[in-house]
Amino acid sequence: MIFSKIFITFLTVYLLSVVAQRLGPRHAGVLAGFPLGSAIVLYFFALEQGVEFAATSARYTLSGLAAALALAYCYAQASLRWHSRIWLPWVVLLSLLAFFALGIMLQSLPPWYPLHMAIIAVAIVIGHVALRSIPEQTQPVVNNHAITRWLRQPIIALIARATLASASVLFITAAAHVLDAQWSGVLAAFPVSFVPLLILLHASYGSHTVAATIKHYPLGLIALALYALAVSLFYPWLGLNWGTVAALSVSIIYLMMYAAVRSRHVQKLLQ
């Protein structure tokens, strides 16, 4: 089981990393909303704890994404305020504190669909408005320190990101054996792949590049919110495997629609 979790996480991180590198920071932020970590975690919740546990957890994952958005917002603002990479550990720590502080409040909510849907909808709107003033793209300030040069090597960056993501998945799925569905659901919202990406971008290319990536995170988060909602509805109805297929389909359709709309918008601006 542990090997399966690591293999699936490595594979999905690799595929999304390849796409994000080809499309740039804007799409990297949107693709961060692809249900990578949450999909893997909720799947193993259902496999190990049962589909009802996973379905209940998914409701709290839905609102728990607001905590993930708080983490991203804090990371963007803290990194822009403290430009020097010497502050990177403190930026990461502050962002993690934001996630868990909001998560503590969210896990105590009743399992009422409209409430969880309203929380993430409001959070996405606020996050999008709060982050839209960040410039689309700036010239990266490349750090030529030996360690960051080493981390910029594609294979090293991929291994580092996938390793951190795998460790997070293993921790969250293990914690679900001792935590209730509410806390497990909030933890399932933790951006297990996005956080390592932010750390690597911050260390290698500076605060403006990482902030430009975070800028589009709220819109990408819609795909994750749709996935969590779909899991909570489809798992009890369709079961684990078909429920996962249906939930992934919902997220992929949204991301394709967003990409098409965004492409037309860019074309109009260029005309």
Instruction: Tell me the per-residue pLDDT of 71-92, one tens digit each, with 9 for 90 and over.
Output: 999 999 998 888 777 888 899 9
Collapsing DSSP to helix, strand or coil, 208 comes out as helix
pLDDT of residue 119: 96
Tokens (6 digits) for 12: 């999905």
> How far apart are the two ends of the chain, measured CA to CA in Å?
53
d(CA 239, CA 252): 20
**DSSP letters of 107-148?**
TTS---HHHHHHHHHHHHHHHHHHHTTS-S---------HHH
Of 188, 191, 167, whose CA–CA distance to 44 is shortest? 188
Domain membership of residue 99 as a residue range: 2-270
Q: How many domains does the chain have?
A: 1
**pLDDT tens per residue, range 95-129:** 999 999 999 999 999 988 899 999 999 999 999 99
Tell me if 136 sits within 8 A of 203, measured CB to CB. no
Residue 258: pLDDT band with limits 50, 70, 90: confident
Kindly indicate the confidence band of residue 37, based on its pLDDT and cuts at 50, 70 and 90: confident
- pLDDT value at 178 more than 80: yes
pTM: 0.85
Is residue 207 over pLDDT 90?
A: no
Place of tokens 């509805």: 233
More confident residue, 75 or 196: 75
The lowest-confidence range among 82-96, 123-137, 236-250, 252-266 is 252-266
CA separation for the pair 188, 191 (Å, rounded): 8
Helix/strand/coil percentages in the chain, nearest 5: 80, 0, 20
What is the mean predicted confidence (pLDDT) over 5-24? 69
